[in-house]
Chain A
Amino acid sequence: MSLNAATDKSTEPSPVRRLIAWRKRLDRFFALEGLSVMILALLVLLALLGQLAFDGLGRISWRFLTSFPSRFPAQAGILSAWIGTMLVMLVTALTAVPLGVGAAIYLEEYAPKNWVTELIEINIANLAGVPSIVYGLMALGLLVYELHLGQSILTAGLTLAMLILPMVIIATREAIRSVPPHIREAAYALGATKWQTVRHHVVPYSTGGILTGMILALSRAVGETAPLITIGALSFIAFLPHPPWQSEFPFISMQWLLDPFTVMPIQMFNWVSRPQEEFHVNAAAAGLVLLFMTLAMNALAIVVRARYRKRIHW
């Protein structure tokens, strides 16, 4: 085909031009498809939020937030649920963060390149793919029965800590890796030991990434239901765990760790499983609160990441 085809006065487009036009149409159609699929995803999200809000927004009130569950849906509330969530998250964070950060530091700064290290790394990658309910089964057999920790806040916290440990480790490793090697070399050249370099430089400069990873992992844990049902979280808890303080010496009480508990997602699950529609309203309200908690944590993570990125940029 010659370039003069454009100036040809023939009315019949040549086969090649037709092919190109056809391909272009396909291209546009394909792009349209991609765009519409994305819009579909967006619409689904909106439908989800809309449905939840439509059903449950009316139920949310101060009374809802401060009442215990009840046989009467109009009087039921999520007090024990969100307090349970907070306490369990406390245990989870206090367990998963030191272990996860410590493991990540070891793997990035200390680990020699041998089979032990590779085993640990393969293991962590595998754990990240294990279904969450399997952690519940493990905790049931080991923590609840073998170690006699019972169906308690401590068990729940430890279970979720094991679940999110791979996430914390992976995020912390990423953050540590972003500290450039010439900063480490500067510290070593001054005579710093490995731990001094890690403690004074590597960890402080990766704090942003570590915090972000930690918050995102915890926001995952907040929504986890299956493992906690497995270890026996009950959902008709009409009382609060013991407070962490007491009037006699030593004034701090650890009794709350062994108390039975419930958490937000389980309360919602319980209500949505009931046939009565009024309970579904409660479930929607609980879902909104739960969603709010999760989104607030995600937003916090974004803010933290932005703030730290401003302070330290390589």
Chain B
Amino acid sequence: MDVAVLLHAMVKRTAVSMVASRRRSQLQEKGIELLLLASALTSVAITIGIVSVLAYESFLFFRQVSLLQFFTDRQWTPLFAEAHYGILPLVSGTLVTTGVALALAIPMGSLIAIYLSEYASRRLRETVKPILELLSAVPTVVYGYFALLFVTPALQHIWPNLPGFNMLSAGLVIGIMIVPYVSSVSEDAMRAVPLHLREGAFALGATRMQTALRVVFPSALSGIIAAYVLGVSRAIGETMVVAIAAGMQPTLTLNPLEPAATMTAYIVQVSLGDLPHGSVGYQTIFATGLMLLLITLVFNIAGHVLKRRYRQVY
């Protein structure tokens, strides 16, 4: 009986001392959790930082320039003596280059994705995918160089009157740049379509092309839309290619054969110069940045909504 009492006391003592050390480490655990939470919250802090800086400087800007002028004036010449603050030329520049880029990247990226997912052998896929990844790893300034000094001269063989700076070269190169994004996300979406859906089509006598276009593509539409939205975001936000190859002249035009400035290129142009902190000229880049962010946001939200609409559960 004594042994039992002794054992009991021993266990109790161990339990108590363990409890004490547990309480210490419980505090430590909580501390670590808070530290990790703080890390996670920095991402929220970044967003708040972006929004507040852009909002604040834009607010200062709009105290001096009316919203009406901003959206309707057809000239953007903030640095001239007779300053105009219409954002339309910059927006048109962005939209035209993005349009050219998408006109190239969406068909090309989708075609590549369909081919890789429905036609290509595994070996071919494993050879091609790294090459596409290489395309996306090239720095944008190198693409800018390529656009200015290879694509433009090449296009000038076709259109001899093509100016040295033009939106077409820039747009085409941006298109090539985003093909890997479009194709890899689309391909993932298509590969995720289960085999039995394809087999159903084949069993009915469909060719691979018909299966790809009528069965796989629609089923993967949600993911494919995500791919397109990704491409659009990248194209809208692209800076260096347009800064190098499209020129920095804000022009309100829809003709890609002309030079123009995009919202991003304008910001670069101003940053290269020497505008005093606090001047209206300085504030224009924030107003432009805010516009850029809002346009990107609109596309992202639209993409999100469309993705949800077309989502398929297999």
Contact = CB atoms under 8 A, between A and B. Distances in A.
Q: Does a CB–CB distance below 8 Å link A and B in the complex?
A: yes
Interface of A: 23-24, 26-27, 30-31, 33-35, 37-38, 40-42, 44-45, 47-48, 51-52, 55, 98-103, 105-107, 110-111, 119-120, 123-124, 126-127, 129-138, 140-142, 145, 162, 165-166, 169, 193-195, 219, 222-226, 229-232, 265, 268-269, 272-273, 280, 283-284, 287, 290-291, 294-295, 298
Interface in B130-150: 131-135, 137-146, 148-150
Is the contact region of chain A dominated by helix, strand, or loop, or is it mixed?
helix
Interface residues of B, number: 77
User: Which of B134, B271, B296 gathers the greatest number of chain A CB atoms within 10 Å?
Assistant: B271
Nearest to A42: B131
B64 interface: no
A131 B296 contact: yes
B252 to A, nearest CB: 22
Interface in B21-68: 25, 28-29, 32-33, 35-44, 46-47, 49-50, 53-54, 56-57
Contact of B54 (A37, A38, A134): A134
Given A31-B208, A232-B271, A269-B141, A166 B43 contact: yes
Interface stretch (B72-80, B85-93, B106-114): B106-114
B225 interface: no
B86 to A, nearest CB: 20
25 contacts: A31-B115, A51-B150, A55-B149, A103-B36, A106-B37, A107-B40, A120-B40, A120-B44, A127-B47, A129-B300, A132-B237, A133-B267, A134-B293, A137-B54, A165-B46, A169-B43, A195-B29, A223-B140, A225-B239, A225-B240, A226-B239, A265-B141, A265-B240, A269-B144, A291-B138
Given A193-B25, A272-B141, 9 more contacts: A27-B209, A47-B146, A102-B38, A102-B40, A131-B238, A131-B239, A131-B293, A225-B240, A232-B271
Interface of B: 25, 28-29, 32-33, 35-44, 46-47, 49-50, 53-54, 56-57, 108, 111-112, 114-116, 119, 128, 131-135, 137-146, 148-150, 176, 179, 207-210, 230, 233, 236-240, 243-244, 264, 267-268, 271-272, 277, 285-286, 289, 292-293, 296, 300
Nearest to B115: A34
Contact of A98 (B33, B39, B108): B39
B207 A27 contact: yes
Contacts of A226: 140, 239-240, 243, 264, 267-268
Contacts of A136: 267, 271
A133 B268 contact: yes
Contacts of A230: 267-268, 271, 285
Is the contact region of chain B dominated by helix, strand, or loop, or is it mixed?
helix
B136 to A, nearest CB: 10
Given A138-B49, A141-B56, A225 B140 contact: yes
A41 B39 contact: no
Contacts of B53: 137-138, 140-142
B62 to A, nearest CB: 16
Contact of A119 (B44, B50, B111): B44
B50 A106 contact: no
